[in-house]
Structure 1
Amino acid sequence: MSATETLRAQVAEDWNAATTHAFTDALAEGTLDPEKMAGYLQQDYLFVEGFVRLLAATVAHAPTLADAVPGAQFLGAICGAENTYFLRALEALGVPQAEAAAPQTRAFQDLMEDARLSGRYELMLSVLVVAEWIYLDWAAPVEDRADALPFWLGEWITLHAGPDFAGVVAYLRGQLDTVYETLDETRRADVRATFARAVALERAFFDAAWDGFFVAR
């Protein structure tokens, strides 16, 4: 197995819980309470600034231009199509952007900041791989349902499925697979811990979204 496959296998329980979650099942079926989706999007949008900073730092630490270009292209997509989706979806659901982060949101924001400030390419990649691969894993199997859903559900699926997004995940995984082979055991242990923490926090975020975040109005 590749390094990223091994990392995923080591946290299989949390990974499977996050990628086959009641929240995303209801989202794909079109039965998700709009109030729950509104709270989820308000909280998820609070990740964008930290995610952009983390991705930009990862691009800056890429070993070559060839390694950096796909990340830079993905950065443009986050700042373009995905950012626009959030604004349109929040407006359609009749809620503003949230100002206060829930505890689950704050925890993942802290993880992204810790990875960015570490200056370590492998730790930045560990968080990015989890954040994007988990979404591909739940969204890809339900991509064919997206067109029948309201755009604020359907576009959230299509943003995280299809060949372009799968290519982003393959790129991030490939970068982590490559750099992991160069690490000593201490640094590999740091990657494993960061990866596991990220997966646990993704699961906790979906759990909180299913319970229902407070919706700012």
Structure 2
Amino acid sequence: MTSYGAAFQAWRDAAPDWRAYTDHAFVQGLQEGTLPEAAFLHYLRQDYVFLMHFSRAWGLAIAKSDTLAEMQAAAATVHTLLHHEMALHVELCAAAGIDKSLLEATQERAENMAYTRFVLEAGYSGDLLDLLAALAPCVLGYGEIGAGLAARDHAPTYADWIATYGGPEYQQVCQETGALIDAALTHRLGDGFAKLPRFGQLSQTFSKATTLEVGFWDMGLAP
């Protein structure tokens, strides 16, 4: 199991739906190569829309930051999302005959809207900690999933996707995000942050976002 910091470990262990997320049938289909292409492309198009909102949420994290280090970490993640992760979606869709204009015209599904608006609302109504707790399941969950798939035998069908999220560049983003979360908690709550009621509240936000990730995979299986 990949470790991305103390806070993530605690939140992950407390999230009832974590395994339903990381071991979802969609993930198994990626590993085995049995995921129908139509389902994968449907997911990619919805995830492209998701990443637009997710990038805005990480931009909000810059505004919610207290320190230059926090701002730099959030800005680095925005750059990765806009210039690397979304580029992967454009590339994979183009290879399947879905050009960028079609990709950008994708109609957002209700499951997608529910998740992205939950994350943005956490940021708008709360502080940086609330926002990071809502963002963490996606960033770090994909890192755990990618690393796990890359370490196991997998079919070549979705090798590019697996190589992206299991590769060193994305894993470095996960390490930096985990460090950002721990540092932000320490800065605001002190070294004993894990023992405070506030940490438990943040854990609930993380759990809700994890449940929405399960719904996103479910949506991916239902084009």
Task: Please classify the TM superposition score into its range, dividing by the shorter chain length.
Answer: 0.7 to 0.9
Separation in structure 2 between the aligned mates of residue 110 and residue 186 of structure 1, nearest angstrom: 25
Matched with 1:209 is: 220
Indicate the SS of the match to 2:19.
helix
The corresponding residue for 1:117 is 124
TM-score, length basis structure 1: 0.85
1:119, CA displacement in angstroms? Answer: 4.9
**Cα distance in structure 2, aligned partners of 1:132 and 1:82:** 11
Post-superposition offset of 1:145: 7.0
Which segments of 5 or more consecutive residues in structure 1 lack a partner in the other structure?
Answer: none
Residue of 2, 6, 20 corresponding to 1:2: 6
Could you state the TM-score of these two structures normalised by the residue count of structure 2?
A: 0.83
Letter in 1 for 2:57: L
What is the identity, as a one-letter code, of the residue corresponding to 1:191? L
| CA 3–148 in structure 1, closer or farther in 2 if over 3 Å, else same | closer
- After TM superposition, list the pairs within 5 Å mapping 1:40-119 onto structure 2: 40-95=43-98, 96-97=102-103, 98-119=105-126
For 1:62 and 1:163, locate their aligned partners in 2 and report how far apart those are by CA, in whole Å.
26
Aligned residues of 1:54 and 1:115 also touching (Cα < 8 A): no
CA distance change for structure 1 residues 120 and 126 in 2, over 3 Å: closer, same or farther?
A: same
Distance in 2 separating the partners of 1:146 and 1:92: 24
- Equivalent residue, structure 2, for 1:169: 174
- CA deviations on 1:3-62 (whole Å, 9 max, x unpaired) are 322111111x31111111111111122221101101111111111221111111213333
Across the two proteins, how many residue pairs are aligned to each other?
A: 209
Is 2:77–2:173's contact at 8 Å kept on the other side of the alignment?
yes
- Residue aligning to 2:184: 179
Runs of at least 5 residues in structure 2 that lack an aligned partner in the other structure:
none
Whether 2:170 is the aligned partner of 1:159: answer no
Segment drifting more, 140-149 vs 48-57: 140-149
| Contact preservation (8 Å) 1:122, 1:176 | yes
2:74 and 2:183 map into 1 onto residues whose CA distance is 15
1:139: how far off?
Answer: 1.1
- Alignment equivalent of 1:130, drawn from 128, 137, 140: 137
Task: Quote how far apart the aligned CAs of 1:88 are.
Answer: 1.8
Name the SS for the 1:175 alignment partner. Answer: helix
- 1:192 alignment partner, one of 203, 207, 216: 203
Aligned to 1:112, what secondary structure does the other structure show?
Answer: helix
Query: Which whole-Å deviations, capped at 9, do the CAs of 1:95-140 have from their partners, x for residues lacking one?
Result: 4325322221111111122023125100111122111111111111
Deviates more, 1:124-133 or 1:194-203: 124-133
